[in-house]
Amino acid sequence: MGEARMMEYNKTELMACAASRVLEDGRSVLVGTGLPIIAATLAQRLHAPDLLIVFEAGGIGPRIPMIPISVGDSRTFHRAAMAASMDYVMSLAQLGFIDYAFLGAAQIDPYGNLNTTVIGRHDRPKVRLPGSGGANDAGSLCRRTIILMRHDRRRFVEHLDFLTTPGYLTGPGARERAGLPAETGPHRVITQLGVMGFHPSSKRMMLLSVHPGVTVEDVVENTGFELLIPDEVSTTEPPTEAELRLLREEIDPAGIVIG
């Protein structure tokens, strides 16, 4: 990443670039609508040409010409290795063949558990959310999940209003005791403030990097639980000119997501 970083960028573009850099060449990733498609396509075009992109609706291994408007858009099958179905894709996750999955959430707790069901009591909710969709399957079965969401105290909470998708549940060993595959679980949480991971022993969320212009104090103030802070916290690398040109000129020229 030695190119000059002369171009201005927004927070969504920074999140897309940070997420794309997590994805490795030769791996597979389950993506959903919006920012996950942007991040996966960017990775495939820059540093991970053999990244296998998998869509929940059945597109496996496509070469995305430009951003689809949904996971069932015909562009999710463009030059794909296979046009399958939702149950086939979920069976791949169950068999352990999907390395990464992108997730979003309304709430997240210290162990990476997610709520996309209700805010408030389940029987008398203040807000009813979309529900699980494929999120529980992805969070339960894919090897590593990458969570993309907005960072504030209403969303980063000590206790969820409802557990939709399991993270590390109550801590070390809890996933395995619940019958979930070993060595799976949340891997990264990427927000407009920084990048979080999870402590290898305690499984609690840990700050890894802050975005340019953001301080550790900013992240702590916007987190509703005790976030682990290591002795050294790096700064997220800004988007390169190559990344921004791909995002703006080829992947999302209409600014549907990054705009």
Q: Point out the residues that are catalytic.
A: 56
Four-point Cα dihedral 56, 48, 67, 75, nearest 10: -60
Provide the token pair at 241.
């000119």
What are φ and ψ of residue 145, in 5° steps? -110, 145
